[in-house]
């Protein structure tokens, strides 16, 4: 009986974890839409003017705006070539 309860508990945790992960992915897509400067029709500058005070340019690509201490991006940022 204890083994069955333990197994069911692990199963419930696995399902809950998957649900949380899906919600996190949806949140990242929405945040990326708000965080990038694509809608402002401005090119990314070194100072990232299009993002205001919360932005930085990444690898010469789009301007990604900071949200707290994190860079919100749908894709993992590639390392910059020097």
15 in a domain, yes or no?
no
12 in a domain, yes or no?
no
Mean pLDDT (the chain) is 56
Predicted structure pTM score = 0.27
Count H helices and E strands in the chain, helices first: 1, 3
- Is 78 in contact with 59 (CB distance < 8 Å)? yes
Residue 80 confidence (pLDDT) above 50: no
pLDDT in tens, 6-27: 878 887 877 766 655 555 555 5
Tally of structural domains, the chain:
1
42 in a domain, yes or no?
yes
19 in a domain, yes or no?
no
User: Domain span at residue 66?
Assistant: 35-81
d(CA 77, CA 75): 6
29 in a domain, yes or no?
no
């Amino acid at each position: 009986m204890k083994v069955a309860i333990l197994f069911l508990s692990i199963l419930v945790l696995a399902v809950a974890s998957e649900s949380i992960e899906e919600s996190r992915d949806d949140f990242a897509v929405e945040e990326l839409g708000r965080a990038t400067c694509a809608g402002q029709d401005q090119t990314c500058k070194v100072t990232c003017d299009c993002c205001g005070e919360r932005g930085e340019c990444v690898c010469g690509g789009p301007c990604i705006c900071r949200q707290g201490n994190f860079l919100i991006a749908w894709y993992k940022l590639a390392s910059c070539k020097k």
